[in-house]
Amino acid sequence: MSGNGSLTWSVHLARRRPRQAAAAVALIFAAGAAAGYGFQSLLLGLLAAVLLTASVADYLFPVSYRLDETGMHVRGLLHRRRMEWRQVRRATKDELGVKLSPLPHRSRLEAYRGIYLWFAGNESEVMAAIAHHTGAEAARADVHPPVRPPAGTP
């Protein structure tokens, strides 16, 4: 945490996997071209490409995080989200980041609620900040191992 009590960092997921990012961009262009050709409309082709880009914007473009005394703030190309510390009921950590949820138990709604904080080589600092701001409740984060396919599957 910096002297002002906040922790800031940025994550650019496409830089971690440039081949997948290139494939995603190629797929967006191909889908936009197919939509434009299929509907005989440049406008609909561009609209398809824009909507697909928006759906993967957090992967293709950098996302900035700030944890401060008021809560967590996430800023991406197309969105800004914030959650106050008092709203955090549970933290679920995996090897890539931690999901802070306002829900006290796992639920199907969890995909639409809460904020996922991607680590950027700063796991201990992020977890310490969460523990500092939420107390013992979220400091005891549920730790889930990465999901791996069963042995013998291709």
Q: What is the token pair recorded at 147?
A: 């999901």
Q: What is the token pair recorded at 27?
A: 């797929």
Average pLDDT, the chain: 88
Distance CA 106, CA 69 (A): 26
Alpha-carbon dihedral sign for residues 14, 123, 129, 97: positive
- Position 109 scores a pLDDT of 83
Higher pLDDT residue, 71 or 138? 71
Distance CA 150, CA 154 (A): 9
Report long-range pairs for 132-135 (Cβ below 8 Å, ≥24 apart): 132/1, 133/67, 133/69, 133/71, 133/85, 134/85, 134/88, 134/91
Higher pLDDT residue, 109 or 118? 118
Mean pLDDT computed over 123-148: 70
pLDDT exceeds 70 at position 145: no
Q: What is the token pair recorded at 39?
A: 């509907």
* Confidence category of residue 135, pLDDT binned at 50, 70, 90: confident
Distance CA 67, CA 39 (A): 46
What is the biggest distance separating any 2 CA atoms in the chain, rounded to whole angstroms? 59
* Confidence category of residue 4, pLDDT binned at 50, 70, 90: low
Residues 6+ apart with CB under 8 A from 89: 101, 102, 103, 104, 137, 138
- Position 142 scores a pLDDT of 57
